[in-house]
Every structure is written in structure tokens, then in C-alpha cells.
């Protein structure tokens, strides 16, 4: 596999590293573009081999000016990215915290609460089926509507199966509200950050050249419960942009949320890097014209990330530093 990044900044040429990484080393081989010898351009680095370990991006996605080097040391001062050069945008569910199972359990509790049935059978989302939903469509209400469109309209304690789109939307709204209540209770008990994500976020917050934000497809109420519990109010207050699914009219894989985040920060799309965990999020990032790093989960690890345009794939962020992405 061979590819090259476009020229992102004046006088910079960076090779794309298309390898599949894990914390135990690189799986497979990768090739970088042929070195660029012209004056004013940085040569791409040699190809990796599978035996090399403990690496992430040997050729970072972006290069900053030597006159304004990045600061790796994390400090407690508020973010001062008034005129950022680049942006690092995190998805929430699956990237910051592993929430798939918490969401699934909460949906099933809501379905049970409403005695939701299709053709007389209780609606229950299994682990395997929820993986399909997660990898097909973003957002809770779109998931339910997709499921009902495929499997039939549900009867519930509210009455017979909806006969109109308006009636279906009303039922889905009630189900989502009930699911959110269950989800918030579960999050309070068990949610914790994935390895390395808060450390990388802190590096970005502390750096005056990097804008940092979170862009989630989750509903605002559930999203706020997660980020307040796991990310924390102090860290959230120093982010440059925080957006949930309620802030946009179209959910991922539509790129709208990343395009709006970019506009809020005031950068062009080629200056933004997104961290996602699934094909749905990857399509949103690439649709917005942004670089995308995948930190996969157990339910997304077999997805064709590179074939869909991922710029790097890692098991988690424990060995990823800001200097691996920007320098």
C-alpha cells in the first residue's frame, strides 16, 4: 500500500503512513512516498517494517514552524488558542470512553419499560446487532427509526404501532428520553476514560498553537453526563469547541458537525485532525476533508478503515503524543 499526503503547508511535503498499529507493535507493512529532494521540502521518512515496535506516526500529519515549537508539557493554565494553527477534534463515545455496552443496556431497559414489541415479540438489541447499528448509523433516534424501518413498527404501552411519521417520531422521542435516564445512571456507576485520551487532550489544551474540542453524535443530555463525569468540568472549560448531536440537524456520517466545529474554531479543513473509532465517524471526518486517526474498539476493530481513508489506526492512545501528530 502506498500513498502520499497532499502538501498541507507551504514548503512542507509529508508522506502518509498507512500501517495498522497496536500497543504491541505494527501489524503489516507500510510504505511512504519517495523522498522529496527539492529545496524547501522535508523528505519523507523510509518505509516501516513489521518488526519495528512502539511507534505511531513516524511522519506526523502536520509540521509547524520552527519559530513556534509545540510545548509538550501539560500545564493547568486555561487554553489560549486565540489564533490556532491546527485543531485536534475528539469523538466521544468509543474514543474518550467505551460506551457501546452502556448505551445498549440503556436502550433495552427503555424498550422493556415501554413494553415495546414488533409482531408480538419484545424488542431487544443483542451485542451483535448493536454492533451493526453502531457501524451503520450515528445517533440514538436515527438508530431506532432505522431499526423500525427494517423490522416493522412497534406497539408499546403507548398504544398500537404508529401509523404516521409524526406518531413514530413522538414514540421515538419518549423512548430516547427514557433511555437517557437509564444511561445517565449507568454512566455514573461505571464510565472511565480510555487509555491515553485525557493525556493527549491535556497536551493539546496546554499548547497555544492547537485548538482542541469534542464532537459527539450523542444526544446532549447523555453526552454532558459522560463528559462531565469522565473529562471533568475544568478540562471542558478549556476546550475550544464542544458539540453534541443536538447541535446539528444531520448526524454522522454526515460531516456537518465537523464542518461547524471548524467554522467555530476558524480554521480550514486541512488544518484539522479528528480522532474517531468507527467507519461512521471516519466518513464524517473525511467528508469534512479532515485527517482522521482511528482508535478502534472491540466492535469496530475489523472494519476497513484504511480502505475508507483513515490516515492511521491504533488500538488506543496510550502511546500517542501530540508530537506524533503535529511537529
Q: Is 91 a catalytic residue?
A: yes
Q: Is 93 a catalytic residue?
A: yes
Catalytic residue among 91, 202, 240, 254: 91
Of 23, 61, 47, give the one whose Cα is nearest residue 310: 61
Catalytic residue among 83, 93, 202, 311: 93
Give the residue numbers annotated as catalytic, written as ranges: 91, 93
Amino acid at each position: 500500500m502506498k500513498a502520499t499526503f497532499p502538501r498541507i503547508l507551504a514548503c512542507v511535503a509529508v508522506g502518509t503512513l498507512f500501517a495498522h498499529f497496536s500497543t504491541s507493535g505494527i501489524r503489516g507493512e507500510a510504505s511512504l512516498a519517495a523522498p522529496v529532494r527539492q529545496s524547501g521540502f522535508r523528505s519523507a521518512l523510509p518505509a516501516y517494517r513489521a518488526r519495528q515496535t512502539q511507534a505511531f506516526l513516524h511522519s506526523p500529519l502536520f509540521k509547524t514552524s520552527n519559530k513556534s515549537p509545540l510545548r509538550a508539557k501539560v500545564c493547568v493554565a486555561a487554553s489560549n488558542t486565540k489564533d490556532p494553527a491546527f485543531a485536534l477534534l475528539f469523538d466521544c463515545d468509543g474514543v474518550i470512553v467505551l460506551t457501546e455496552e452502556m448505551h445498549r443496556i440503556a436502550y433495552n431497559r427503555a424498550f422493556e419499560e415501554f413494553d415495546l414489541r414488533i409482531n408480538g415479540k419484545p424488542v431487544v438489541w443483542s451485542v451483535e446487532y448493536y454492533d451493526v447499528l453502531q457501524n451503520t448509523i450515528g445517533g440514538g433516534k436515527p438508530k431506532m427509526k432505522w431499526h423500525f424501518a427494517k423490522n416493522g413498527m412497534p406497539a408499546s404501552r403507548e398504544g398500537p404501532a404508529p401509523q404516521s411519521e409524526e406518531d413514530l417520531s413522538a414514540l421515538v422521542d419518549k423512548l430516547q428520553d427514557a433511555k437517557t435516564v437509564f444511561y445517565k445512571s449507568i454512566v455514573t456507576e461505571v464510565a472511565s476514560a480510555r487509555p491515553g485520551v485525557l493525556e493527549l487532550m491535556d497536551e493539546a489544551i496546554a499548547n497555544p498553537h492547537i485548538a482542541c474540542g469534542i464532537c459527539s453524535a450523542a444526544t446532549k443530555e447523555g453526552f454532558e453526563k459522560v463528559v462531565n463525569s469522565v473529562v471533568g468540568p475544568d478540562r471542558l472549560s478549556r476546550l475550544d469547541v464542544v458539540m453534541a448531536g443536538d447541535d446539528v440537524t444531520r448526524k454522522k456520517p454526515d460531516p456537518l458537525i465537523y464542518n461547524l466545529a471548524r467554522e467555530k474554531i476558524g480554521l480550514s479543513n486541512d488544518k484539522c485532525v479528528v480522532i474517531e473509532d468507527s467507519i461512521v465517524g471516519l466518513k464524517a471526518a473525511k467528508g469534512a476533508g479532515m485527517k482522521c486517526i482511528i482508535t478502534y474498539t472491540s466492535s469496530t476493530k475489523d472494519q476497513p478503515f484504511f480502505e475508507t481513508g483513515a490516515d492511521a489506526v491504533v488500538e488506543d492512545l496510550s502511546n500517542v503524543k501530540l508530537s506524533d501528530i503535529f511537529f
